[in-house]
Structure 1
C-alpha cells in the first residue's frame, strides 16, 4: 500500500501560530582548553505575558502553558552543574485572565516559585504606571483598584535606560552580578526605546527613556563598572526587537550590537518585544530571542575562563516547548488552580448563541461578529474619563474564529482575538476616516482586487464599486445619518497592529493624537459579560456597510475570494494540484513534515520535482509563504536564464528592491521579466509580504502557462 493518504483539493487551512520548531546555534568563538573553562548555561524566556494556562499551536502540535514550560525549564537546569534562570521583560501585561484578573500576581508567584535569578523590564511592565510597576517588583498594594497586594519578586530586576525625572537616576538598579561555578556574570537591563509609544502617557509619567546614543553610553559605562568589580562576562537583557532570518540578524538589538565597540566586554544581548526567533552574532555579540508565550526557551551556553573571567565560547539553542509526552509541573498547576478557584467565571459560560454570530465574508462585507467586536472596541475604557469613542474599526484578518453555537466560554473569545493586541484611541479628521476606508481596497500583484473590509461601529457608508477607489465612498455618515464632516476631528479606536499601519491602513500613522489602552480580548470579554449577562449573545448585519455596483456574473456563482495569507504547505499543494504531479512513492524527507500530514503528498511531489529544498532539513509547512519564496519556487518553471547584471538591474528598478533577499534576486527578476510577477502599489515588490490564496493561484497559473509556451 502506498504511504500516501487521499488528499482533497488545496483547501487545507492550518490555524497555527508562526512559531517554528527551531534549534539554531550561535557562532563559536575561540576554542577553549577542555577541563579548564567553566561551563555555564543561561536558561531564559521572554514575552511570557502571563500566559499561565494558555496552550498555543506550533504547526499542528500543542505547545506552551506554564505547567509544561516549568517542566522544560526545571529539566534543563537539572542537566547542568552551573546554570542561571532569567526572563527578559513583558513577563506580565497583556496577560491571560487567570493572571490579569489579579494584576499578574499569579505570574509573579510562579516566577518566584521557579526561583528565577534575574529579570528585566519590558514595555508592558509600564502598562499601569510606575507605582504599579514598583508594587509588582518590590511588593505592596497595587494602585489599580487597590484590591491586590503583591508579595514582590524574590529575584533581581535590572534596567539601565529608564531614568526617574525626580532623581535623575535609573528607575531600578541598572545591573546585577551573579556568581556561579566560581565565575562572575554581570547582567545589564534595557527596555525598548519605543515604550512611550506602546503604553498610555500615564504609564510612563515621571520617567524618561534614554536615546539610542545615551543608551550606548550607559551600557559602556556600566560594563566598565562591572569590569572594575572583576566581571568580564557581561549579558545585556535588552527587551529590544530582533529577528534572525536566512542567517542575518536585524532589529533594535542588532543595532545596539553594532553601536557598541567591537572590543566591548558585552558577550550576549538577549532580545525581546517582537515575539520572534533570534540567534546570531552581530559585531561579536551573540543575539538571542525565544519567541513568546512560553512556547520556547533559550539555552545560552557560555564557556568561561575562570582565571580571566572571559567568555571563550558562546552558543545558544532555542527549544520549542511541545506538550506531547511532557508531564505538567504540579507546583505550577497548583498556582493556576488557586487562581481559577478564585475566578470561576473563567470556566463558566459567558452566554450562548444560535450559531449566527459569524465572521463569514468579513473580508468583503459587513459581518455580525465584526459588528460585535467593533461595538466592544468603541466602548473601551482608556482611563481618560472620556465617553465612548466616535468610531471603531476592526481589521478582518484579526478575527480568527466564529462564536460557536450553544454555550460560549472565555476560551472561545480568546480564539477569536488571540493576538493580545492593545487597543489604541486615535484622533482623526473626517477626511482621514474616508481615506482609511479607501485603503481597504488594495491590489494584488497580478492586478486583481485585494479587499480587507474594515468592520465598523459608530458610522455607516456606501461604497460604489463602479467608481475608482478615490471616489468609491459615496455616502459617509454617523449612525443617525448625520454626514461625517471632513474637517472635524473624531475619536476612533483601532488595535495597535492597525495603528502602526498594518494591512496598508497607513493613514492611521498620521493621526493627530494616540492613546494606548487595554487589551482587545479583555475589552471583548467585558463587553460580552456586561451586555448579555450570560444570556443570548446577539449580533447581526445592520446595513453599516452598503456595497453597490459590485460586478457579478448572473449566469454563474463567482469563485469565493480568499484574501487570508496562505502557508508554504498550501502554496505547494496548490502548485502540485495545478501541475497534476503524481510520481512519488516515498514519504517526504523533511523532519517537520509527518508522513500522515494532509500536505505530505504535495510536499513530496514538489521536492521530487525540484521545486523545493527546505532549510536545514525542515520545510516549515505552516509558516506563511512570502512573495520572494513563492517566486523562487515558480522560477523553476520558467526557462529564461537571467544574468546577474540583468537581474540586479530589474530589481533595482523598484523602490524596495534592496530589501529582496540575495537568493531571490534572480528568480524574482525572471518572473518579473516574463510578466508573471508585478509590483504592488507605488512600484513596490514587498518581497517579505505574504500571498493570498487568490494571488497565489493567479501567479501559479501564469507560471504554468509560461512553461507550456
Structure 2
C-alpha cells in the first residue's frame, strides 16, 4: 500500500493529490445563468472515517482534523444565503481511536453538532452489521460489546440500493427532499456494490445489494417519484469510486452516469470510496469527490430556475483544509477532548524500545518489526470464537516506519500501519501457502528481480536462490519443525490489500474462504498494550526465514538497506551516460573531494542534473522516487504543462503528497511511460528506490532521451 508520512496525534493512509487550487477544478458547465435563478451551494465531505484528531500532510503542509474542517465548513456556509451540508458515506468505520473506541459515537456527535442536512451510507457503515448500523443512525444500544448507547443522527440518511431480504424494501428511506431558497432538491443514496466483499459476511447479513442494472432502474424510479412531487433538481449521493484524470472522469460513479438516460433529471453524482479527486461531467451529470479524512470538501454550486425547478448551471470546487492560519472550531475541540479524557491511553506511551525493532531490509529478509506485526495479526479476534490463526503474512510495503528509540505512543504505531486496512482470515492449503511464498519473487519488465518478502508468523522456511522460483522453497514447516502438508487446509491472516491479490500475491484470491475482521492498526495497538503492558517492546529476527544466497550475489558486501543512496543513484546515472567533462571537485560542503562518488557528483552538477540543498548534497541519504524523477526529467524534452502535469498526478490516490517542486518532473516521467505507480494506484513519492528499481528507471530515462 501507500507510503504515508503523516502525523500529528495520529497517522493515517492519506489518499490525496497535489492538485489543491479550487480554481483548477472549478467551472464545469455553462458560464452564465439567468439573473432570477436561485443560487444554492451543496457543501459536502466523503470518507471522513472518524479521523477527528488526525492531522494529514498535504503537499508538505498540515491539513485536516475535525476542528479545522468544521471551521472551513462553517465559513463556507456563512458565505452563502442558501446552502445544505451533506456527507457521502464512510463517515464512520476504519476510524481513529478517538472515535472508534466509542463505536464512532464521537463522530456522530460531531456531525450532529455541525448540523448536517443529509448523509448516505458507505461500505464501512456495514462493518459491524445491520443492527449496529441502525443503532448509529436511529439511536440505541450498540450491539458490539453493549457499552455504547447512540443518540442517533439528527439528519436524514438515504440509500436506495440495499434491500432487506425479509421485507423486500430498502434498508432505509431511498431519498429525501430538502427545500432551500424556495426550491426543492432531492437526494438519492447509493453505496458501492462491492460492499459485500469489503466487509465481513456478518456485516451484510439480512440484506442484498442491487446489481448495476437494478441500481439504474432504482435511480430512474425514484427520480420519477421525485419529479411527481415537483422536484427537478436531483442529487445522487453515490458512495461509488470515481477519479478525474486528464479531464476524463472514470469509475463506478461515472459508469452510473453513463448508464442513466442522457435526459435523466439527475444533475449531480457525488462519489466516494476510493479517496480520490473527481470533478467533471459525464453524460450531462456532474461527478464530484473530495478526497478523504477531512482533508478537503466540495462546494457544489447550483443555479436553479425557481419556476421550473431545473438546474441551469452547475459547477464544483474542491478545497483543501490546510491548517495554517485557520482557527480551530471550539465545539469540535470539546468533542475530541471529551473522548480523550475517557481514553487517556491514546496520549500516553504504550511502551519503550531500544531502537532495534525496525523494518530494515524487510523487502529481502526477515525483519524484527515484521515479526512483531505478523505475530499481532495472527492472534487477531475475528469474532468467530476460533483460536489463533495458523499463520499470518504481512507485505513489506505496508510497513511504513520503524519503532522509535525511547517512548512509543499510539501515533508511532499509526505511522507504521497508517492505511486502516482490514484484516482478512483465509483458508489456504499447504500447497497454496507454498505458491504464496513463490509469488514473493517477481520480475520487473526489464528482467530484474522484484522481491517483496513476506513477513511471517507461525511458520518458517528456507529459500535457496540457486534454484528457480518454482523450486526455491526447499523446506517449509510450522514453528516447531512439523512439515506443512500440501493437502491440509490452514488458516492465515493477511490484510485486505493482499487478499485482493495486491503485490502479486494472486493465490490469495483463490482462498477456500474469506472472513473480514478488525482494522490492522487496532490489532497492532491492542497487541502491544496487552503483551508489553507499557514496558520494553521487544522483537528480533528468529530464523523464520533462511535465504541461501546464489553465487552471483556478493556476500562480502551484503545489502543492509533496500534503498539506494543519492550518491549511488547519481553515480549510476553518470556512469550510464558516460559523462567525463569536468576536472574540478564538487562544491557541496558535505561531499569530500576524495570521496568515491565525488567525480560523479561533480559531473552531475555540471550537467545540470542536481543542485543540492543549502550547499549540501546529502550523498548518503536514501533518494526518494520524486527526487529521482526531478533528476531524470532533466534528460527529457517536451515536458507537460502545469495543467497537464497536475491532471496526471491527480490520477493517483496519493498524488497530493507529491512535493510541489516534483509535480512536473513526475508527470513527465509518467507521461512517457518511464515511471508508474509503486503499488496499486499509489505513487509513493517519498519512498526510496531499490538499487534494481533505480537502475531500471535510469535505463528507461536514458533510452527515452536517445529516442
TM-score normalised by the chain length of structure 1: 0.84
Deviations 1:525-570 (A, max 9, x none): 1111111111111111011100002443255556854399xxxxxx
Distance (whole Å) between structure 2 residues aligned to residue 424 and residue 162 of structure 1: 24
Mapped to 2, the partners of 1:228 and 1:554 lie a distance apart of 77
Is 2:429–2:490's contact at 8 Å kept on the other side of the alignment?
yes
1:575 is displaced (CA, Å) by 11
Tell me the distance in 1 between the aligned counterparts of 2:438 and 2:631. Answer: 42
Give 1:283's aligned residue.
283
After superposition, give the CA deviation of every residue in 1:40-59 in whole Å (9 maximum; x if it has no partner): 11110001000000111112
Stretches of structure 1 lacking an aligned partner (at least 5 in a row): 1-12, 565-570, 588-597, 635-660, 672-676
* 1:607–1:613 CA contact under 8 A, matched in 2: no
Q: Which moved more, 1:346-355 or 1:104-113?
A: 346-355
| Pairwise CA distance, 1:512 | 1.1
Distance in 2 of aligned mates of 1:432 and 1:346: 39
Aligned pairs, how many? 639
Matched residue, 2:87: 87
State the shift of 1:28 in Å. Answer: 3.7
CA deviation profile, 1:502-539 (whole Å, cap 9, x unmatched) = 11111111111111100000100111111111111111
Shift of 1:705: 6.8
Deviation at 1:490, TM superposition (A): 0.8
For 1:702 and 1:338, how far apart are their aligned partners in 2?
A: 55
Residue 470 in 1 paired to residue 470 in 2? yes
* Cα distance in structure 1, aligned partners of 2:32 and 2:706: 58
Whether the aligned pair in 1 keeps the contact of 2:360 and 2:560 (CA below 8 Å) is: no
> 1:423 aligned to 2:423?
yes
Q: Counterpart of 2:693?
A: 695
CA contact (8 A) 2:635 2:702 kept: no
Match of 1:19 among 9, 16, 19: 16
Alignment match, 2:604: 580
Matched with 1:613 is: 640
- Note the aligned Cα RMSD (angstroms): 3.4
Alignment check: 8 A CA contact 2:5 2:415 kept: no
Q: Structure 1 CA distance, aligned partners of 2:42 and 2:249?
A: 20
Tell me the equivalent position of 1:552.
Answer: 553
C-alpha distance in 1 between matches for 2:180 and 2:288:
21
What do residues 186-240 of structure 1 show as CA deviations (whole Å, max 9, x unaligned)?
Answer: 0000011111111111111111111111111110000000000000000000011
Deviation at 1:79, TM superposition (A): 1.1
How many angstroms apart in 2 are the aligned matches of 1:190 and 1:318? 21
CA contact (8 A) 2:279 2:316 kept: yes
How has the CA–CA distance of structure 1 residues 477 and 558 changed in structure 2, closer, same or farther, with 3 Å as cutoff? closer
1:642 maps to: none
Q: Distance in 2 between matches of 1:686 and 1:134?
A: 34
CA offsets 1:443-499 (integer angstroms, 9 cap, x no match): 123211111100000110100011111111111101111111111111110001111
Name 1:567's counterpart in structure 2. Answer: none
Match of 1:390 in 2: 390
CA-CA distance at 1:633 after TM superposition: 4.4
- Give the Cα separation in 2 of the matches to 1:366 and 1:407: 24
What is the match of residue 702 of structure 2? 704
What CA distance in whole angstroms lies between the structure 2 residues aligned with 1:624 and 1:259? 38
- Structure 1 counterpart of 2:375: 375
SS of the equivalent of 1:460 reads strand
Partner of 1:591: none
Displacement of 1:80 in angstroms is 1.1
Give the number of the structure with larger relative contact order, counting CA–CA contacts within 8 Å between residues 6 or more apart.
2
Q: Post-superposition shift, 1:105? A: 0.5
| Cα distance between partner residues in 1 of 2:668 and 2:169 | 55
Tell me: CA distance 1:468–1:125, structure 2 relative to 1, closer, same or farther (3 Å). Answer: same
8 A Cα contact 1:446 1:699, kept in partner: no
Map Cα deviations across residues 670-702 of structure 1 (whole Å, 9 max, x no partner).
Answer: x8xxxxx99x9xxxx999988955424333246
* Cα separation, 1, equivalents of 2:267 and 2:420: 33
Q: State the match for 1:40 in structure 2.
A: 40
Deviation at 1:243, TM superposition (A): 1.0
**Tell me, what secondary structure is at the counterpart of 2:328?**
coil
Whether the aligned pair in 2 keeps the contact of 1:352 and 1:405 (CA below 8 Å) is: yes
Q: Which residue of 2 aligns with 1:514?
A: 514
Change in Cα spacing, 1:355 to 1:559, as seen in structure 2 (3 Å) is: closer
Q: Which residue of 1 aligns with 2:10?
A: none
**In 2 relative to 1, CA 575–296 (structure 1 residues): closer, same or farther, beyond 3 Å?**
farther
Change (3 A) 1:418 1:585: closer
Q: Residues of 2 paired with 1:361 and 1:544: CA distance?
A: 15
Partners of 1:572 and 1:282 lie apart in 2 by 44
CA distance in 1, matches of 2:575, 2:89: 41
Provide closer, same or farther for how the CA distance between residues 389 and 609 of structure 1 changes in structure 2, counting only shifts above 3 A: closer
Separation (CA, whole Å) in 2 of partners of 1:406 and 1:546: 30
Instruction: Verify: 1:322 aligned to 2:322, yes or no.
Output: yes
Distance 1:14 1:140 in 2: 37
Q: Is the 8 A contact 1:446 1:695 kept in 2?
A: no
Distance change >3 Å, CA 617–CA 211, structure 1 → 2: closer
CA distance in 2, matches of 1:546, 1:486: 20
- Secondary structure of 1:264's counterpart equals coil
For residue 527 of structure 2, give the secondary structure of its aligned residue in structure 1: helix
1:228/1:467 Cα in 2 relative to 1: closer, same or farther (>3 Å)? same
Q: C-alpha displacement at 1:623, in angstroms?
A: 3.8
Q: Indicate the residue corresponding to 1:593 in structure 2.
A: none
- CA deviations 1:76-111 (Å, max 9, x no partner) are 111111111000000001111100111100000000
Gaps of at least 5 residues in structure 2 are 7-13, 566-571, 578-599, 612-623, 650-654
Give the Cα separation in 2 of the matches to 1:71 and 1:207: 38
Output the CA distance in 2 between the equivalents of 1:423 and 1:686: 18
Partner secondary structure for residue 616 of structure 1: helix
**Shift in alpha-carbon separation, 1:358–1:190, aligned structure 2, 3 A:** same
Secondary structure in 2 aligned to 1:700? Answer: helix
For residues 246-395 of structure 1, the aligned pairs below 5 Å read 246-395=246-395
Q: Retained in 2: the 8 A contact 1:41–1:84?
A: yes
**8 Å Cα contact 2:633/2:668 also seen in 1:** no
When residues 428 and 221 of structure 1 are mapped into structure 2, their CA distance, relative to the original with a 3 A threshold, is same
Change (3 A) 1:101 1:464: same
SS in 1 for 2:67: helix
Contact 1:21 1:319 in 2 (8 A): no
Cα pair distance change 1:250/1:33, threshold 3 Å: closer
State the alpha-carbon separation in 1 of the partners of residues 628 and 479 from structure 2. 52
Question: In structure 1, how many angstroms separate the alpha carbons of the residues matched to 2:440 and 2:627?
Answer: 36
- Aligned with 2:698: secondary structure? helix
SS at match of 2:253: helix
Do structure 1's residue 138 and structure 2's residue 147 form an aligned pair? no
